[in-house]
């Protein structure tokens, strides 16, 4: 008998619910399918990559693509978690807008395929966005995670991955969006800072909030010390929440994100 844990990835984008099922065999082959009652606009059904699952070596795993621009500490947290089958997800690709960053090296050491697409190599930002969309789509991801990716995606990307593109930001949104969350928090004099995981939309750090974690601001904090303390909490939150999303599913209704 084949027993599959209650691990499906379910998302709703603008009120539509979908289930994403990726069956990965221990011999490396896989089969994937997506069911979307009502077929949400901009959601493209999977083409199965292999025969339907029938054997007893079946395990269930969502496919993740991670985008980054720097050292990849958030990626490393996900790589470590994904090394355990019980996590429920496999990182199938890592992309960056910068060559030679440590985040790409982390992925390569883990045997994960990588790619680099620099904005300046394309005639326009729209061309870059289209190329990024095509490259990420080639991995057939269930979720795409921005883990320190310092580029805003455009219309093409959000059309393809709307409701499935997550970002982790180092402030308690909606406070202090942008690239300098800890610095801005210190300048404002807040007593509590933290990190936010959210679903990316057309705005800047403005999408529906999935989860938040807090850290105290100490009297002697600098931007560097506060940033490092936030990173520790941010990594833990990213692993815990992405794991829950892929194992239990989630819905997005307006600005409310629910994980059963």
Is residue 170 within 8 Å of residue 234, measured between CB atoms?
yes
Predicted local confidence at residue 260, as pLDDT: 84
Q: What is the mean pLDDT of residues 211-215?
A: 98
Query: Is 19 a residue whose pLDDT tops 90?
Result: no
Task: With cut-offs at 50, 70 and 90, classify the pLDDT of residue 10.
Answer: very low
Pairing of strands 114-116, 89-96: parallel
Which two tokens mark 59?
């395990």
Backbone angles phi, psi at 193, to 5 degrees: -120, -170
Predicted local confidence at residue 100, as pLDDT: 94
Predicted local confidence at residue 60, as pLDDT: 61
Coil vs helix vs strand at 117: coil
Q: What is the largest CA-CA distance in the chain?
A: 60
DSSP 20: E
First vs last C-alpha separation in the chain: 27
pLDDT by residue (tens digit) across 27-61? 555 444 444 444 333 333 333 344 444 444 444 68
Is residue 139 within 8 Å of residue 162, measured between CB atoms?
no
Task: With cut-offs at 50, 70 and 90, classify the pLDDT of residue 181.
Answer: very high
Residue 1 or residue 185, greater confidence:
185
Which two tokens mark 238?
């990213």
The rounded mean pLDDT for the chain is: 83
Own/partner pairs, 173-180, CB within 8 angstroms, 24+ separation: 173/198, 173/205, 173/206, 173/209, 173/212, 174/205, 174/206, 177/204, 177/205, 177/206, 178/204, 178/205, 179/150
Predicted local confidence at residue 61, as pLDDT: 82
Give catalytic residue positions: 169
How far apart, in whole angstroms, are the C-alpha atoms of residue 173 and residue 122? 32
pLDDT by residue (tens digit) across 83-97? 998 899 999 999 999
Block residue for tokens 């679903």: 199
Predicted local confidence at residue 249, as pLDDT: 87
> Could you check whether the bond before residue 140 is cis, i.e. omega within 30 degrees of 0?
no
Residue 48 or residue 130, greater confidence:
130
10-19, 81-90, 111-120, 210-219: the lowest-pLDDT one: 10-19
Count Cβ atoms within 10 A of the Cβ of residue 123 and give its class: 0-12 exposed, 13-18 middle, 19 or more buried.
exposed
How far apart, in whole angstroms, are the C-alpha atoms of residue 237 and residue 4? 26
26-30, 78-82, 113-117, 212-216: the lowest-pLDDT one: 26-30
Predicted local confidence at residue 85, as pLDDT: 86
């Amino acid at each position: 008998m084949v027993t599959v844990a209650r691990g499906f990835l379910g998302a709703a984008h603008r009120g539509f619910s979908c289930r994403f099922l990726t069956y990965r065999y221990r011999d490396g082959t896989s089969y994937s399918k997506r069911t979307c009652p009502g077929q949400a606009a901009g959601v493209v059904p999977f083409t199965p990559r292999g025969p339907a699952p029938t054997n007893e070596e079946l395990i269930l795993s969502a496919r993740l693509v991670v985008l980054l621009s720097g050292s990849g500490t958030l990626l490393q947290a996900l790589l470590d978690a994904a090394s355990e089958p019980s996590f429920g997800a496999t990182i199938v690709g890592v992309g960056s807008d910068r060559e030679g960053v440590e985040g790409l090296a982390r992925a390569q050491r883990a045997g994960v395929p990588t790619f680099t697409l620099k904005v300046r190599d394309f005639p326009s930002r729209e061309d870059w966005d289209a190329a990024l969309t095509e490259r990420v789509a080639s991995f057939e991801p269930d979720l795409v995670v921005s883990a320190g990716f310092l580029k805003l995606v455009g219309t093409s990307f959000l059309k393809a991955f709307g409701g499935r593109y997550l970002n982790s930001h180092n402030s308690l949104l909606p406070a202090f969006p942008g690239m300098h969350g800890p610095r801005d928090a210190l300048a404002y004099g807040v007593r509590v800072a933290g990190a936010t995981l959210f679903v990316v939309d057309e705005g800047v750090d403005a999408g529906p909030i999935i989860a938040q974690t807090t850290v105290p601001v100490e009297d002697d904090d600098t931007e560097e010390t506060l940033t490092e303390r936030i990173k520790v909490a941010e990594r833990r939150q990213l692993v815990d929440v992405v794991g829950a999303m892929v194992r239990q599913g989630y819905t997005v209704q307006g600005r409310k994100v629910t994980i059963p």
